[in-house]
Amino acid sequence: MQILSAEQIRAWDQYTIQHEPVASIDLMERAARKCVDWLKDMSWKGRNFRIFCGKGNNGGDGLAIGRMLLSAGYTVSFYILEFGKLGSEDFQTNLQRLHDIPATDLHFLQSASHFPILQKEDIVVDALFGAGLNKPLSGLSADLVGYLNHVHATVVSIDLPSGLFMDQSSLGNTVIQADYTLTFQCYKTGLLLQENAPFIGEIQVLDIGLHPDYLQQTHSQTELLDEVMIRKIFRPRKRFAHKGSFGHALLVGGSYGKMGALVLATKACLGTGAGLTTAFLPKCGYGIMQTALPEAMTLIDESEDKLTTLPDDIDRFSAIGIGPGMGTAPETASLLSFVLRRYSKPLVIDADGLNCLSQHKGWLTSIPHSSILTPHPKEFDRLFGDHPNDFERMATARQKATELNLIVVLKGHHTLIACPDGQAFFNSTGNAGMAKGGSGDVLTGIISSLLAQGYSPIDAAKLGVYIHGWAGDVAAKRFSKEAMLPSHLVDGLSHVFLLLQS
């Protein structure tokens, strides 16, 4: 699914109007009907609906939504921000339709003294500004949004929460805190970034029937990973395959007190289907690994408590994942430098592997092309400098992926995969229960396994991130987000693969 800019979505609207063809006001009516259908499904009959509208087309959506709710027997009041100017043409048309309905409860807000008294039980429909906003809210608009946030009623925002920018950071701005966001036709970038989590609530994408042919003639460099895309990547096993058909993965990590990270990565590598899996670890972890995972082979460092020296013949491995739990001791950092110089195939670098790189940034240019880096935001900033917001972090991820010919997997609720060709993908699976130490180690093992099995680095990253999140969704349903553990993600992989093969 393509993620489009505000300009592209406006063009999609116009393309639909011209080529369906459909009048703009009728397209607005269609969008409003989809919103009303969703609102009816929420079983809020008997509660008061308070519709807050600006005078643009988002406000026109709000007027149409309220009119349809009125005709369905709901109690509805309308509140329009009034600045003494006419609204958009479609807004004015919907306002006239409301005037034609007897005894409509319609109010114009000219100052804060006109703000209505609201109850927590009310349903606030936010149709103030939507996706067309291009400057921070101020004056009466900001005061109204601040007031609505203070009331703590249930807020449903139409298209975007008012005050939220679609394609740039909104940090520091006044933004309505929605419980639900009903967005039209496709995800918007602003709805996928962590910094906007306090404002967007639960997201519902409503298909309002924009003309599908438009997508054939436009291109977005950002897409949302979905199951359709993943099924095209996934390769089921052939009947006469053998363990040599699925590669030999090496997982490098572990140190005294941090062997669990490497155990999780190794277990995930095995659970994702690598033909052979070897773990390279310090002596103190030998008994732990052999007991926890009898299916894994081990190579043992000469050091008791940390990694220092890898064997010379590392090119015999189909893929190497390095970093989980290995620490950042100088000897360990030297080992990473050795891998960068001696291994000719793409690597998966995570955790302390990334922390070692952040201490030796000159090594970044030595990373084998098409390698996969999997930082969380703090690790990312250690590598590439501090970033004031997620939009700038996303821009840097794309820049560095192209500049260094790497794949950057920037982890988060909607993990971003930035590719060397400039394309980027947001993930659509996963949940807050995965926000626990060890979940990233599982991802390292999954991607390393897919690389070993012969998936291209980009496909390994996309498939790995998606099934990692999917396994997390399986675990959350079984154990709850609070009680689920990173090891449950590995257990959930079996269910995910069964679904992929069905």
Of 499, 498, 497, the C-alpha closest to 272 is: 497
pLDDT tens, residue by residue, 97-121: 999 999 899 999 999 999 999 999 9
Question: Same CATH topology for 6-220 and 242-371+424-501?
Answer: no
- pLDDT band for position 502 (50/70/90)? confident
Query: 466: pLDDT confidence band, cut at 50, 70 and 90?
Result: very high
pLDDT band at 84 (very low <50, low <70, confident <90, very high): confident
Cα–Cα dist 149/203, whole Å? 18
Give residues with Cβ within 8 angstroms of 225, minimum separation 6.
417, 425, 426, 427, 428, 429, 462, 465, 466
pLDDT tens digits for range 288-308? 999 999 999 999 999 999 999
Q: What is the mean pLDDT of the chain?
A: 96
Helices (H), ranges, 162-255: 197-200, 227-233
CA 32 and chain centroid, separation: 27
Task: Say yes or no to pLDDT of 241 above 90.
Answer: no
Instruction: Give me the pLDDT at residue 16, please.
Output: 97
The fourth-level CATH superfamily of domain 6-220 is YjeF N-terminal domain (3.40.50.10260)
Average the pLDDT over 418-436 and give the result.
97
pLDDT over 90 (residue 245): no
Model-level pTM? 0.95
The two tokens of residue 266 are 């190794």
Per-residue pLDDT band for 243 (boundaries 50, 70, 90) equals confident
Quote the CA–CA distance of 329 and 58 in Å, as a whole number. 56
Specify whether the CB–CB gap between 17 and 210 falls below 8 A.
Answer: no
Q: Report the pLDDT value the prediction gives residue 53, as an integer from 0 to 100.
A: 98
- The CB density around residue 141, as the number of other CB atoms within 10 Å, is 20
Confidence of residue 334 (pLDDT cuts 50, 70, 90): very high
pLDDT tens column, 161-209: 999 999 999 999 999 999 999 999 999 999 999 999 999 999 999 999 9
Q: What is the DSSP string of 285-297?
A: GHHHHHHH-TTSE
Distance, in Å, from the CA atom of 64 to the CA atom of 276, rounded to the nearest integer, reads: 61
Residue length, the chain? 502
The three-class DSSP label of residue 166 is coil
The pLDDT value given to residue 57 = 96
Whether the per-residue pLDDT at 244 is higher than 90: the answer is: no
Query: 249 φ, ψ to 5°?
Result: -100, 140
Tokens read off for 227: 């199951």
The model's pLDDT over 391-409, given as tens digits with 9 standing for 90+, comes to 999 999 999 999 999 999 9
Domain ranges of the chain: 6-220, 242-371+424-501
- Euclidean distance between CA atoms 173 and 160, whole angstroms: 14
Partnered with residue 156 across adjacent β-strands are 125, 180
**Which amino acid appears at position 13 of this protein?**
D
DSSP state of 280: E
Contact status, residue 453 vs residue 237, Cβ threshold 8 Å: no
Task: Return the beta strands (E) in 387-470 as ranges.
Answer: 407-410, 416-418, 424-426
Q: In the structure encoding, which two tokens stand for residue 100, read together?
A: 């034609």
- 3-class DSSP state of 103: coil
Cα dihedral 317, 322, 325, 326 in deg (nearest 10): 90
CATH number for region 242-371+424-501? 3.40.1190.20
For residue 43 the two structure tokens come to: 């079983």
Tens digit of each residue's pLDDT (9 = 90 or more) over 247-288:
999 999 999 999 999 999 999 999 999 999 999 999 999 999
